[in-house]
Chain A
Amino acid sequence: MKVSLFITCLSDALFPRVGEAMVRLLAKYGVSLEFPTVQTCCGQPAFNSGYWKEARDSAKTILDAFEDSDFVISPSGSCTGMIHHYPKLFEDDPIMLQRANKLQSKSYEFTQFLVQVLGVTDVGAAFPHKVTYHPSCHGSRILGVKDEPLALIQQVKGLELVPLPFAEDCCGFGGTFAVKMADISGAMVSEKVDHVLETEAEVLVGLDMACLLNIAGNLRYRNEPVRVMHLAELLYEGVK
């Protein structure tokens, strides 16, 4: 059984600690991840901006990387969600389309793999803090990952989960949207952070580093000390 890590370019470059937490946590269940280094980026920035030729150049590295894998696991609902767009991206190329379909059916976001595949909801973690959870749009809406993270969070001992007001509203990241429509994106992230602060949580947890980069960026800009973590980090810290 070949289980592979799709690290995503963002976690690779900026948040290696997230990939490490994920790999270490899965190792506790005897899951040995392999890491094909030919992978780069899922191609989403180009795809969403309308540059599909450029997106294909990038997506091909992902198709090559995971050709022989049985399971492909990523710490991002958005990047795994992008793999769900590959059949459309390669619709005019029958050979690539077949590879795209195959990759889609074996790709999982981290909590999806833990809960749906391994059947784990209690990792045995303790984390005695007040926590709020931001459900990222692509994970919850493209992949339908809504219950899995909550099932995992609810089993963590000592953790007090405070509901985030307007949790399902986008944080305003949206890839190049944050640059092209900077002021609209700024209004969105500012409101998201207002809501995070309303909860008085010590920790904000999520499943997508792009959204968390955005929210943490605004928190730091406002000198707010709320700790921002990927759920894999929180769970691993809780079992360490």
Chain B
Amino acid sequence: MGTGAKTGATVKARADLALNDEFLRKAVRFTTERLRNGKKKATDEHGNWEEWRERGRQIRLHTIAHLDYYLNLFVNNARANGVHVHFANTAEEAVKLTLDIAEHAGAKSVVKSKSMVSEELHLNHALESIGVEAVETDLGEYIIQLAGEMPSHIVIPAIHKNRYQIADLLSKEAGYTLPPDTTALAGFVRKKMREKFLEAEIGMTGCNFAIAETGSMVLFENEGNARMVSTVPKTQITLMGMERIIPSWADLEVMATLLPRSATGQKLTMYMSGITGPRRAEDADGPDEMHIIIIDNGRSLQLGDPEFQELLNCIRCGACLNACPVYRHIGGHAYGSTYSGPIGAVLTPSLNKNIAEWDDIANASSLCGACYEACPVKIPLHDMLVYLRRRKVESGNGSMMESIGMQGFAAVMGSSARLGGVLRLGKLGQKLVVRSGVIKTKLGPLKGWNTYRVTPSLPKESFRDRWDTLDQELKHGLKQMDPTMQNRMEELVKKREQEEKQGKGGHGHG
């Protein structure tokens, strides 16, 4: 991480920095709201969104379940198209492969289109270390490259910056003052990028989808820069997570519907490029040499893990970030890694398998489920966050205090008699802290809660204390149930019993 990035040892410390940064919070709120509203409009207009979501999920489930087959098919077809295909087990291997290709091409300059995998590998630093200039050509990526920061959003890397901050950054680069006006700023970058496209020996891209049946790779973008990157330079390198595969072009139709609508609310992305091998004799443009580096870097750890395999279904649309009420307040840098938001909170510890080190990100969620609801392929991120917490506890990395607390919880809640006793004690004990019916003290465990709230006191009688009196009163003079209602209830019980016999029980209503 370079200068200007939000640093801190824990998610809590990083979140505190963000919570005290009004510029950041305003910028994040503004853009996530725009994207959320766009998505809502685009999915409402679509008409059959839920069916398409399920279709998208099924395509991803099927592909990942047969990933070995489809990867093999993709690689054979891509090689037949004249692509050099490489495999990298780790980030280090992927970096080394890239540097070797750059050295072999005698490259001085690499232009890059947006790629989260490249961010995951921290590739720009590696290229610079061998004297190769790496230029991000996506506007948002360019801004954070100038700022020396990590992306704070999967789709909108500079979401945390407003146009005044961006004008400052670009003015420094220009050597003169640029107005904080979007058109002027984009105009400056466009002009600068034209020069860079023409200079570069290598164009480097990510990969939104890889089509197994033809060995093609597909790029989604809105600025046209990825098309420049993949047509002008003589050599193209594509970085691809091993799970980016889909079986066919027919499946792409589903993905091309789900991804832009979920990401930005667009019906279609502005540019969708399908690239099948390097330039052929009859092609007007394209690279003479094309490399695809397929990267594992922790992805295969999810294969065969029933609780986490669905993570590989992710199509990197960022909808979970835009829907997340926690992300809304703390932005992406608080997550402390390349991938932020709910998907990042699960992906980072999963890819690294270092749960103990990353556990605190999994705690930065209220488990509200907005991420799952927003996800175009229905990844149950809110459940996965709980599984991460459980794995941390079960691997002996839980906090001592919490563990003692939870054992206490189990002891009290394991028996209604003990719960009753604790409530009676509570009613006595609270006399020390209750003032005008509420508790305001900021001592001990109430500190965090009472910094923003007051706590109600326990009433004189709990429900269980009141029950006998209430029950007697109501039983006396209870009216006969309406026969229609009685019927509805009996029918439901019958239906349930039948389903149970057929072994379908358990998922009934709701």
A contact set with B: CB distance below 8 Å? 1, 3, 7, 9, 11-14, 16-17, 19-20, 23-24, 27-32, 35, 37-41, 43, 45-55, 57-58, 60-61, 70-71, 84, 87-88, 100-102, 104-106, 108, 112, 116-119, 137-138, 141-145, 168-170, 172-175, 177-191, 213-214, 216-218, 220-221
Check A170–B452 contact: CB distance below 8 A. no
Q: Which residue of B has the minimal Cβ distance to A8?
A: B463
List 5 additional contacts besides A41-B409, A43-B413, A48-B367; criterion CB under 8 Å: A7-B463, A45-B409, A52-B393, A60-B414, A181-B11
Check A184–B364 contact: CB distance below 8 A. yes
Check A54–B409 contact: CB distance below 8 A. yes
Check B325–A172 contact: CB distance below 8 A. yes
Q: With A174-B366, A183-B19, A185-B452 in contact, do A145 and B479 touch (Cβ < 8 Å)? A: no
How close is B480's CB to chain A, nearest CB, in angstroms?
5
Check B415–A40 contact: CB distance below 8 A. yes
The interface residues of chain B lying within 8 Å CB-to-CB of A143 are 510
Q: Give bound CA distance, A25 to B134, whole Å.
A: 69
The interface residues of chain B lying within 8 Å CB-to-CB of A37 are 416, 464, 467
Check A190–B389 contact: CB distance below 8 A. no
Bits for B381-422, please: 1 = Cβ < 8 Å to A, else 0.
001001011111110001000110011011111111001000
The listed residue with most A CB atoms (<10 A of its CB), out of B426, B484, B493, is B493
Partner among A17, A58, A116 whose Cβ is within 8 Å of the Cβ of B414: A58
Check A46–B452 contact: CB distance below 8 A. no
Check A87–B414 contact: CB distance below 8 A. no
Check A50–B393 contact: CB distance below 8 A. yes
Q: With A12-B463, A117-B492, A187-B19 in contact, do A105 and B366 touch (Cβ < 8 Å)? A: no
For chain B, the bracket of interface size reads: 35 or more
Check B474–A23 contact: CB distance below 8 A. yes
Check B488–A57 contact: CB distance below 8 A. no
The listed residue with most B CB atoms (<10 A of its CB), out of A51, A116, A216, is A51
Check A40–B367 contact: CB distance below 8 A. no
Q: With A20-B466, A187-B329 in contact, do A181 and B15 touch (Cβ < 8 Å)? A: yes
Check B410–A53 contact: CB distance below 8 A. yes
Check B463–A169 contact: CB distance below 8 A. no
Q: Is B174 an interface residue (CB 8 A)?
A: no
Q: Which residue of B has the minimal Cβ distance to A54?
A: B410
Check B481–A178 contact: CB distance below 8 A. no
Partner among B19, B386, B419, B445 whose Cβ is within 8 Å of the Cβ of A47: B386
Q: With A20-B466, A170-B325, A185-B452 in contact, do A105 and B363 touch (Cβ < 8 Å)? A: no
Query: Interface stretch among B191-199, B230-238, B308-316, B368-376?
Result: B368-376
Q: Is B9 an interface residue (CB 8 A)?
A: no
The interface residues of chain A lying within 8 Å CB-to-CB of B467 are 35, 37
Task: Pick 23 A–B contacts, CB within 8 A, sort by A.
Answer: A1-B486, A1-B493, A9-B413, A19-B463, A23-B474, A31-B485, A35-B464, A37-B416, A39-B416, A41-B419, A46-B406, A57-B414, A101-B507, A105-B505, A105-B508, A106-B496, A112-B509, A116-B509, A117-B485, A179-B445, A180-B363, A185-B452, A190-B452
Query: Interface stretch among B63-71, B80-88, B453-461?
Result: B453-461
Check A29–B462 contact: CB distance below 8 A. no
Q: Is B471 an interface residue (CB 8 A)?
A: yes
The interface residues of chain B lying within 8 Å CB-to-CB of A190 are 452
Check A169–B325 contact: CB distance below 8 A. yes
Q: Is B449 an interface residue (CB 8 A)?
A: yes
Q: Give bound CA distance, A170 to B328, whole Å.
A: 11
Count: A-B pairs, CB below 8 Å: 263
Q: Is B506 an interface residue (CB 8 A)?
A: yes
Q: Give bound CA distance, A104 to B447, whole Å.
A: 36
Check A170–B366 contact: CB distance below 8 A. yes
Check A137–B369 contact: CB distance below 8 A. yes
Q: Which of B39-77 contact A (CB under 8 A)?
A: none
Q: Which residue of B has the minimal Cβ distance to A1?
A: B489
Q: Which residue of B has the minimal Cβ distance to A88?
A: B383
Q: With A43-B413, A58-B414 in contact, do A118 and B452 touch (Cβ < 8 Å)? A: no
The interface residues of chain A lying within 8 Å CB-to-CB of B250 are none
Check A16–B410 contact: CB distance below 8 A. no
Q: Is B254 an interface residue (CB 8 A)?
A: no
Q: With A58-B413, A144-B510, A181-B363 in contact, do A50 and B456 touch (Cβ < 8 Å)? A: no
The interface residues of chain B lying within 8 Å CB-to-CB of A11 are 463
Check A20–B470 contact: CB distance below 8 A. yes
How close is B303's CB to chain A, nearest CB, in angstroms?
21
The interface residues of chain A lying within 8 Å CB-to-CB of B480 are 30
The interface residues of chain A lying within 8 Å CB-to-CB of B447 are 182
Q: Is B186 an interface residue (CB 8 A)?
A: no
Q: Is B3 an interface residue (CB 8 A)?
A: no
The interface residues of chain B lying within 8 Å CB-to-CB of A57 are 410-411, 413-414
The interface residues of chain B lying within 8 Å CB-to-CB of A141 are 368-370, 372-373
Q: With A87-B506, A105-B508 in contact, do A188 and B326 touch (Cβ < 8 Å)? A: yes
Partner among A1, A14, A138, A178 whose Cβ is within 8 Å of the Cβ of B369: A138
Q: Is B365 an interface residue (CB 8 A)?
A: yes
Check A32–B368 contact: CB distance below 8 A. no
How close is A4's CB to chain B, nearest CB, in angstroms?
12
The interface residues of chain B lying within 8 Å CB-to-CB of A191 are 329
Partner among A16, A48, A119, A144 whose Cβ is within 8 Å of the Cβ of B386: A48
